Amino acid sequence: MIFLQCRCLRGLRAGKLKMFREFLSLFAVLWLCWSPSTGEAQAEYMKYKDPKQPVATRVKDLLSRMTLDEKIGQMVQIDRSVANEEVMRTNFIGSVLSGGGSEPLPKATAEDWVNMINGFQKGALASRLGIPMMYGIDAVHGHNNVYNATIFPHNVGLGATRDPNLAYKIGVATALEVRATGIPYVFAPCIAVCRDPRWGRCYESYSEDPNIVKEMTAIIPGLQGDIPNNSRKGSPFIGGKSKVAACAKHFVGDGGTTKGINENNTEIDWHGLLSIHMPAYSDSILKGVATVMISYSSWNGLKMHANRNLVTGFLKDTLKFKGFVISDWQGIDKITTPPDSNYSFSVEASVGAGIDMVMVPYKYSEFIQDLTHAVKNNIIPMERIDDAVQRILLVKFTMGLFENPLADLSLVSELGKQEHRDLAREAVRKSLVLLKNGKNGSAPLLPLPKKASKVLVAGTHADNLGYQCGGWTIKWQGFIGNEDTRGTTILGALKMEVDPSTEVVYRETPEGDFVKSSNFEYAIVVVGEPTYAESAGDSITLTMVDPGPDIIKNVCENVKCVVIVVSGRPIVIEPYVSSIDALVAAWLPGTEGQGVTDVLFGEYGFSGKLPRTWFKSVDQLPMNVGDPHYDPLYPYGFGLTTESVKDLVARSTSAAAGSSVSIFAMLKTLIIILFLTG
């Protein structure tokens, strides 16, 4: 080619030479543009795919390449039951979730979960831009949807521990178990401030005290990782493949509804909203929480899902939250009364208010169609869509989802591992609140001796793992019995704890005559609430499961008894207290029943404090510490303490050694040691 060029040049005049050079330059440009290998190399480099680029640059680059259809698809979260690879690819779906109890198959393994989620992810990655989806799940007291996971005490129990560091550790363990199943996003923690125990979600609240709730947001860095010191205020942070994106919920005031009715109206002035219900959100944002979920409830008559002043004006603009805002399950449908009576309006109102991702969860085609129509007709400005999508992409890039979109099996051994169960056991024993120990001036009943001739265990909740775990466990409303997941009931723990020579007799509902004639040294009665979640748990009576009161009467009138109340909140107990020797609030302890027996038998002392007021009568409700009419059965913060047997023995021995005591006193100490330790 060069040889021909030289021959041609000899015959050209100077003017034509210049033209020919320009032609060659143009030819070279055209050649480079046409060349398949060079063109492909240029097309392959996209800033959003380059992990070396700053996250902001990647978000901006990807957003600039997206069509309206692709942007709206990112704003959609659908349930796994309607998801498949084709749906993910053709609708550009941004997120998939498991609702309460939604699983790949009964008793699914970690591998089953990973394989299902990767299937959905492959569909998302096959779309034009290959934007990965993020899978979300409720993990509100451990990985509660999943068989064999460690189930920690519900939040009300953790509030009784007054231990933010424990909450942090639970966050770390929960993140590992969630990631073991291939999931990078959890709808937790619930940072509601429950002001009325009649609310069916009260056990999801750490306390009636906003300061306790604020302190327990320590679970967020446990889930997400510790936010770097130089982080920009409000920016989300997720620290790698062993961490998950968290979700502070439900914004805002969900625990303050009238009469505790779920999804009802919270009537409170601006100062009250800020001082009671908002502090935990401010703190969560400072900790780098990735997402915030909006509440079903209303504030002074306006549905939170349509409250632009609070969602955009306060959460995003004032608190500087830069992650994304997500709706609750079918939350936008409930903007209208009756729900879903004007869906197009609900779409416009919710997205206009500042909700970025909508938990549809089923009718995604209708949502996409209505939102597209609203944007094309200038009902919702394009800037609002871009704001939503850039927030979603920011979280996805921050969590490393573009670099590691597919889950692997490297963490499957984390699910239900012994270290996590040991941590849950610690949480149980620290959560127990001792309300009474000794009747009518008699000696304390607790700690119980492990060695006894015969003891009775009774009650509806003594040998029922489902009751022990409560709602949001395996199924949305929880389960009843011992078959749905792995754990240790209180009865099972007790049998492991007592001396081998001790005869343990279990009767769920014993008759009084049987108790009276059986020569039991003492009895343990375990009663409480049924399982429930959300509105199904709303209660105006707050009574225990029948025949709980009769069991207390039949047992405690005939033998020394300790009553353990397994419940998500204070329930009616005042009529029975006088007949009880020792009374323990165990809340909803989860799968590790040995945490209860650890304290009953004095391996550890009682240390829990009431996270909420225990009323005398439901007629007093709502009643919270500081109220003018405050007259509780047991006040907020109450909790008797005991020493462990080990500490008691050490103190007794030390006292004996430091004084001139008789042989009789030392023998007495020795007898105490043998009696308590069995």
Q: How far apart are CA 115 and CA 121, in angstroms?
A: 10
Q: Which of 385, 412, 431 is nearest to 567 (CA)?
A: 431
Q: Which of 401, 367, 355 is nearest to 117 (CA)?
A: 401
Angle separating helix axes 343-353 and 364-376, nearest 10 degrees? 70
CB 87 within 8 A of CB 124: no
CB 397 within 8 A of CB 131: no
Q: Which of 622, 638, 641 is nearest to 630 (CA)?
A: 622
Assess whether the previous peptide bond of 547 is cis (omega < 30° from 0): yes
3-state secondary structure of 176: helix
Structure tokens at 346: 């609900």
CB 564 within 8 A of CB 596: yes
DSSP state of 218: G
Assess whether the previous peptide bond of 250 is cis (omega < 30° from 0): yes
SS3 of 372-433: HHHHHCCCCCHHHHHHHHHHHHHHHHHCCCCCCCCCCCCCHHHCCCHHHHHHHHHHHHHHCE
Q: Which of 386, 397, 436 is nearest to 561 (CA)?
A: 436
Known catalytic residue: 534?
Answer: yes
Element spanning 112, H or E = helix 110-125
Known catalytic residue: 538?
Answer: no
Angle separating helix axes 36-44 and 14-34, nearest 10 degrees? 60
CB 381 within 8 A of CB 116: no
Which residue of the set 215, 534, 592, 598 is catalytic? Answer: 534
> Letter for the amino acid at 488?
T
Q: How many residues are given for the chain? A: 678
φ, ψ at 96 (rounded to 5°): -130, 150
Structure tokens at 560: 């020394």
Which residue of the set 103, 196, 328, 529 is catalytic? Answer: 328
Q: Which of 670, 138, 639, 280 is nearest to 433 (CA)?
A: 639
Q: How far apart are CA 20 and CA 458, in angstroms?
A: 103
**Beta partners for residue 585, in sequence order:** 433, 565
Rg (C-alpha) for the chain, rounded Å, is: 31
Q: Which of 539, 553, 238 is nearest to 398 (CA)?
A: 238
Q: Which of 101, 109, 208 is nearest to 160 (CA)?
A: 208
Residues labelled as active-site residues: 328, 534
